[in-house]
Amino acid sequence: MSTPLISAIALKRVCWKTGCPDAGTLAEVINKVCPLYGISTLVLHEFLANVLHESNEFRQYEEDLNYTAKRLMEVWPLRFRTLQEALNCAYQPKKLAIKVYNGRMGNTAPMDGWDFRGSGPIQMTGKSNFILFASWMDRKFGINKSEQEWAKLVRTDPYAGMHSACWIFSISKGLNDEALRDEMKRIIERINGGFNGLQDRLKYYELCKRYLA
C-alpha cells in the first residue's frame, strides 16, 4: 500500500486561515486523485499551494464575479472604459461573465461565458478547456460526460474538482517537471497569467514544505 501524500492533520496545518474543517475528506480526495496525474509529494508542494490560494482553502469552487464598478475598470480596463459601462455589470455575475468571457476560450454560444466561468479549486475557465477535460476523463477513466455536465460537477463535487485541478496543472499546463525543479514563481505565472496573490501562494508553499514529508 502506497504512502499517502498528505494527512488530515498536515492539511489542517497548511490551511492557516481556516484549519480546513473538511480536512479528513479532502486529504482522502488528494490521496486518491493526485497520484493519477503523477503528482508526488515534491510536486504536491507547488500544486497544493496554488490550489489553496485559488480556492480559498477549498471553500470556493466557483469564480467570484461580484465586482464593484471601480474594480471592474481596474481588472478589465479595455472592456470597461467608462464608469457607466462598468455600472452595467457591477454586482451582476452572469452578465459580467458573458461580457468578459464570450467570444474567446472557445465560448461561442450566448451563455458560454457564464456556463464555463472559473470552476473547481483551480478555477478552470472557458469551453475549450472543458471540452479537452471531458475528452481526457472519457479516454483516461472511461467517464463519459458533456463539457456542460463537467462544468457543473467540478463546482459541486470534490473529486471532480480535484480531477480538474490536477488536469490543468499536470496535463494541460504540464507543470510537474517545473515543480520537481522547484520553479514556483514560473508555475504561478503559468497558472495565473501573472503574479496575483504571490505572497499568499508562497506562504502556502513554505507551509507545504514544512508539514508535508
pLDDT, residue 2, reads 75
What is the rounded average pLDDT for all residues in the chain?
96
Burial tier of 177 (Cβ tally within 10 Å: 0-12, 13-18, 19+):
exposed
From 15, 12, 8, 5, select the one nearest 51 (Cα to Cα): 15
CA–CA distance, 31 with 35 (Å, rounded to integer): 7
pLDDT, residue 78, reads 94
Distance separating the N- and C-terminal Cα atoms of the chain: 17
How confident is the model over 89-104, as a mean pLDDT?
97
How confident is the model over 71-86, as a mean pLDDT?
95
pLDDT at 167 > cutoff 80: yes
For the stretch 121-166, pLDDT in tens is 999 999 999 999 999 999 999 999 999 999 999 999 999 999 999 9
pLDDT, residue 24, reads 97
Model pTM?
Answer: 0.94
- What share of the chain has pLDDT > 70, as a percent? 99
pLDDT at 201 > cutoff 70: yes
Predicted confidence band of residue 1 (pLDDT cuts 50, 70, 90): low
For the stretch 16-56, pLDDT in tens is 999 999 999 999 999 999 999 999 999 999 999 999 999 99
Q: For 147-183, give the secondary structure using H, E and C.
A: HHHHHHHHCCCHHHHHHHHHHHHHHHCCCHHHHHCCC
- Are 51 and 170 a contacting pair, CB within 8 Å? no
For the stretch 188-197, pLDDT in tens is 999 998 999 9
